[in-house]
Chain A
Amino acid sequence: MAEFKMPSLGADMEAGTLLEWKVAPGDIVKRGDIIAVVDTEKAAIEVESFHAGVVDSLVVEQGTKVPVGTTLAVIRGEGEPAGAPASPPQAAAPPSANGPTSTPAPPAPLRRPRISPAARRRARELGVDAAQITGSGERNAVTLADVERAASARAADATKPSPAPEHPPPEAPPPEPPPVDRKAEVMRAMGAAMAKSKREIPHYYLSNTIDLEPAIAFLAAENAARPIERRIVPGVLLLKATALALRAIPELNGFFEGGTVRHAEAVHLGTAVSLRGGGIVAPAIHHAGELPLEDLMWRLNDVVRRARTRRLKSSELSDSTATVTSLGDRGSEAVYGVIYPPQVALIGFGRISERPWVYAGQVVSRPLVVASLSADHRASDGHRGAAFLRILEDKLKEPESL
């Protein structure tokens, strides 16, 4: 038996609301399948399963807000007997000292009947409680016909006067996200993570001004030959070069947790996306260093769109090994970012702009960008940090290699 718990989708998350179950007891799930949608301050997140097996029971009702770590569902491995009581679902570990979080006692597991997705949908439409139906299908599964029958029986009942309802109230439809001041919540969550970062992480900062003339010329030539929907923005070159440089300096790619540094094997680049109306999320682009520019462009566009329409996957919020913030063409000249714990580095790019630059002994106008590194002094030092920025610059001077 494996317990599927409310995941921590970032250092700033303390609790989440289970918005919607995407599975029901009896469903077979693979690792990576979306099994629930969880609402956090920042987004509705599609949460993926870490386990393969059969959904045994759903522990938390839709619409319930629970602390990180609370058991949401029990998944049994293939071949394990149904309903074998594993360790009883536990409520979360005590919430962090950062703030008061109520820890509700976990409700009893909801043993739902086997039911097909179509029948479940119909039951929801008709307001019929599927748990009250005796199934006529294979292994007592509740079928569409069973649901229809139960609904008409109830309708017949309803014409008779009855002093008290015999049945428990029908299953509620999936609830809407609770009405909250989203902007205030985002600011509060971001503030908590950044306060933790500045309290605990000994930041050091380095920056280099990089001449992007070769990179911009390379892109202009590339894009001129491409149809408009396949054009690439300069930010994609910055991301790719960063991922390659991180691969060369592993001290900057990973985590500081429990007093030790853990280097990550792959480079999953968190990409800061500003949300309209306020706040930032930094979903991961997995294996960013291995993607051809065109694929990286597609992934960036996809992840930004989903971040802004509040549809990210849990792995995208928890897997980043370092983060990039790129201010774009309307931003400031330079940014010295705050590291997102437990990561150990944040790479910042200011606005790309034409400025004077000495090239071949002459002062000329070139497109320049200030690249900065904010890094955790417990995981690296300025010597390695400088090496990182030098490699980054070298990569951007040879855009054909990206």
Chain B
Amino acid sequence: MTVARTPDEVRAKIADILRRTVPGAQVEGLDPKADLRDELDMDSLDVLNFATALSHELEVSVPESDYSELMTLERCTAYVLSK
């Protein structure tokens, strides 16, 4: 499996991926419980691109049925850590 990760490292990585996959996204100051699709105006392509980058860079496999688990910073972090 992958290297051990702290929640802070995972959070930082998620923010980094969001910045790259959603150009212009204001990631700082996001409410960890807020829906990313609403906060960052993400459409289904953005969601897929975010999930793809997450899957590759954090080495977690994300089936399509789990996309909704990624849609707040808090839940996304927990999802990655649970894998």
Chain A residues proximal to chain B, CB less than 8 Å: 220, 223-224, 228-229, 231, 233-235, 274, 276-277, 300-301, 304, 308-309, 328-330
B63 at interface by CB-CB < 8 Å: yes
Given A301-B49, A330-B37, A233 and B24 touching (CB < 8 A)?
Answer: no
Q: Which residues of B contact A (CB under 8 A)?
A: 23-24, 37-38, 41, 43-45, 48-49, 51-52, 55-56, 61-65
Q: List 10 A-B contacts (CB under 8 A).
A: A224-B64, A228-B51, A228-B52, A228-B55, A233-B48, A274-B43, A328-B43, A328-B44, A329-B37, A330-B38
Which residues does chain A contribute within 8 Å of B37, judged by CB atoms?
A: 329-330
Q: Is the CB of A233 within 8 A of B45?
A: yes
How far, in angstroms, from A229 to B52 measured CA to CA in the complex? Answer: 6
B41 contacts A276, CB within 8 Å?
yes
Point out the residues of chain B lying under 8 angstroms from A224, CB to CB: 63-64
Closest to B22 in A: A276
**A277 contacts B24, CB within 8 Å?**
yes
**Distance of A277 Cα from B56 Cα, bound (Å):** 29
- Most chain A CB within a 10 A radius of its CB, from B52, B63, B64: B64
Whether the pair A231, B24 counts as a contact (CB closer than 8 A) is no
Chain A neighbourhood of B62, CB < 8 A = 228
- In Å, the complex CA distance between A329 and B38 comes to 11
Contact present for A235 and B23 (CB under 8 Å) = no
Q: How far is the CA of A298 from the CA of B48 in the complex (A)?
A: 12
Best-surrounded residue of B41, B43, B49, B55 (most CB of chain A within 10 A): B43
**Given A228-B52, A304-B45: A223 in contact with B64 (beta carbons within 8 A):** yes
In the complex, which residue of chain A has the Cβ closest to the Cβ of B49? A301
- Complex Cα distance, B65 from A224, in Å, reads 9
Given contacts A304-B43, A328-B43, A330-B43, 7 further A-B contacts (CB under 8 A): A220-B65, A231-B48, A233-B44, A234-B44, A300-B45, A304-B45, A308-B23
Chain B residue at smallest Cβ distance from A327: B43
Question: How many Å lie between the Cα of A277 and that of B24 in the bound state?
Answer: 9
In the complex the two chains form, is B41's CB within 8 Å of A235's CB? no
A301 and B45 contact, CB distance less than 8 A: yes
Q: What distance in Å separates the Cβ of A131 from its nearest Cβ neighbour in chain B?
A: 39
Q: B56 contacts which chain A residues (CB < 8 A)?
A: 228-229
Q: Is the Cβ of A231 less than 8 Å from the Cβ of B43?
A: no
Report Cα–Cα, A220/B65, bound state, in Å. Answer: 9
User: Considering the chains assembled together, what is the distance between the CA atoms of A274 and B40 in angstroms?
Assistant: 13
Contact for B44 among A276, A277, A308, A329, CB less than 8 A: A329
Give Cα distance in the complex from A231 to B64, angstroms.
9
- Give Cα A330–Cα B47 distance, bound, in whole angstroms: 12
- Shortest B70–chain A CB gap in Å is 12
**A309–B23 alpha-carbon span in the complex (Å):** 8
Per the bound structure, the CA–CA distance linking A329 and B64 in Å amounts to: 14
Question: What is the CB-to-nearest-CB distance from B26 to chain A, in angstroms, rounded to a whole number?
Answer: 10
Residues of A within 8 A of B51 (CB): 228
**Do A276 and B45 contact each other (CB < 8 Å), given the known contacts A224-B63, A224-B64?**
no
Q: What's the least CB distance linking B20 to chain A, in Å?
A: 12
Give the distance in Å from the alpha carbon of A309 to the alpha carbon of B43 in the complex: 15
Determine if B23 and A276 form an interchain contact, defined as CB atoms under 8 angstroms apart.
yes
- Would you give the shortest CB distance from A155 to chain B, in whole angstroms? 42
Residue of A nearest to B41 (CB): A276
| Bound form: Cα–Cα A329–B35 in Å | 13
Write out the residue numbers on chain A whose beta carbons fall within 8 Å of the beta carbon of B55. Answer: 228
How far is B43's CA from A341's CA once the two chains are assembled, in angstroms?
26
Q: Which residues of B contact A308 (CB under 8 A)?
A: 23-24
Nearest-Cβ distance from residue A228 to partner chain B, whole angstroms: 5
In the complex formed, the residue of B with least CB distance to A226 is B64
Min CB–CB distance A328 → chain B (angstroms):
5
Q: Which A residues are CB-close (under 8 A) to B49?
A: 301
Which residues of B sit under 8 angstroms from A229, Cβ to Cβ?
52, 56
Q: How far is the CA of A28 from the CA of B64 in the complex (A)?
A: 48
State the CA gap A168–B75 with chains docked (Å). 63
Please give, as numbers and ranges, the residues of chain B lying within 8 Å of A300 by CB-CB distance.
45
Bound CA span A228–B65, Å: 12
A169→B6 CA distance, assembly (Å): 59
Residues of chain B within 8 A of A329, CB atoms compared = 37, 44
What's the Cα separation between A274 and B52 when bound, in Å? 22
